[in-house]
Chains A and B, each alone.
Chain A
Amino acid sequence: MEKKPVSLAGYVRLLRSNRNFRLLWSAQIVSELGDWIYAVAIYTLLLEFTGKAQSIALAFVMQVLPQFFMAPSAGILNDRISRRKLMIFADWMRAGIVLCMILVRSPSYVPLLYVLLFVETMMWALFEPGRSAIIPNIVPESEVVTANVLSSTTWSFNFAIGFSLGGVLAAAFGRETVFLLNAVSFLASAVLIGRMRFSEPHADNFPPLKWRDLLGYAPIQEGIAYVWKDARLRSTILVKAGLGLMGANWVIIPIFGERVFPIHPNGFNSRQGVMLSMSLLMGCRGLGAILGPIASGYWAGDNERRMRTGILYGFVAAGTGYVLLGLAPNLLLACAAVVFAHAGGSTYGYSRRRCSSFKPRIGSAGVSSPPSLLSAC
């Protein structure tokens, strides 16, 4: 089948011609924007109540680790039951969970916040494989790549816009408003997904779901064995693990916003100034994630050798960016360093999406197959 090139015109054509994808994409926009909008509120709340950088790190761990542990169960559930219903369920649950975060009004409630973050991430881990897996159900094969690239590009835009808006909204209207907005965004996502109409034949050939199936970690073991046998995938995993070193940015950037470069615009108190500064720096991180793949695409195009070299340049840019951030004398230069670092860090994403050397050979297995392992890493 002829594959249509990925272009702006391709995105527009896909969105105009495919109602189901349009609804799914809209749901992605509202729920992801909500996610990033409320992150600044969470980080400033934790720093205010605990005064410890580790509190942010723990929140980040609660937002990452459940993804790995939920991957097998989420994959099996998405293989066996309606993905559409599962996504709607996850959205409703997340709306309720985020609303409960309004209860966190004193330091004694911080443990509750961690539990809520953990459960919310479990719901995200249920939702996300379904969202990725239904794209081939609702999009013609020739447009699957366009749909996937549009989805991942949208993530970067949502990150940049959500974080930039989040601090402003939290500073202007308070954290509770931001939590409420996030809950509403999940409800809107559930409504949009509920309006999608498509068949889901994926579960027809599977035996009925049993509880013990959900605890099966065999797919992870199979994934490790699969990756270990293939030099290409081993390299991919190592690159991805190397990028994991940049996970420290989830602590470093908020702390820069709070302690190094808080801003004090007229009409805002110091707490609101911290929110704005954090929001600005995290927004720059998102801007880097947008610019990196664009620069990579411009320079490498479809040349796989250049894409691989681009990953090296990306790593160097990421490392240099963080060194420059550490040396930055003011907020403006710190913002520029963050953009540079994360433009470098996101070149891997471009190469992974476009370069066949980074695409695992996948059989007919569903979302519980080795790609889940890649995403977990």
Chain B
Amino acid sequence: MSVSSYSAGLLVDRSVPVGYVAIAVGTVVMIPALLWARVLRHPPRSAFPD
């Protein structure tokens, strides 16, 4: 969280429009979404005992 917020601050101070930073964050958040989708599809052994 610290790295993420500091990077956002750095980008804004380097004149990157804050809207672009928001879009970048939204896009990057999709990476863990994809990883989680993969975990759901192929759960690690003993990950979700039913």
Interfacial residues, chain A to chain B (CB-CB below 8 A): 52-58, 60-61, 64-65, 231-232, 234-235, 238-239, 241-252, 255-256, 259-260, 304, 308-309, 311-312, 315-316, 318-328, 341, 357
Contacts and interface: CB of A to CB of B under 8 A. Distances in A.
Interface of B: 1-10, 12-13, 18-23, 25-33, 35-37, 39-40, 44-50
Given A53-B10, A304-B50, 11 more contacts: A53-B9, A54-B6, A61-B2, A64-B2, A231-B45, A241-B32, A245-B25, A245-B29, A316-B33, A318-B29, A326-B19
B29 A319 contact: yes
23 contacts: A53-B9, A53-B12, A54-B6, A56-B9, A57-B9, A61-B2, A65-B2, A235-B47, A238-B32, A242-B33, A242-B35, A242-B36, A243-B32, A251-B9, A252-B21, A255-B12, A256-B22, A308-B48, A315-B30, A318-B26, A319-B26, A319-B30, A357-B47
Contacts of B6: 54, 57-58, 61
A252 B18 contact: yes
Nearest to B22: A326
Given A53-B8, A248-B5, A319-B30, A235 B39 contact: yes
A319 B33 CA distance: 9
Contacts, number: 154
**A interface majority secondary structure:** helix
A242 B32 contact: yes
**B interface majority secondary structure:** helix
Contacts of B37: 312
Given A231-B45, A246-B4, A322 B32 contact: no
A328 B12 CA distance: 17
Contact of A321 (B26, B31, B49): B26
A52 B45 CA distance: 47
A232 B6 CA distance: 30
Given A232-B46, A251-B9, A327-B23, A245 B35 contact: no
A316 B37 CA distance: 10
B1 to A, nearest CB: 3
A331 to B, nearest CB: 13
Contact of B27 (A58, A319, A325): A319
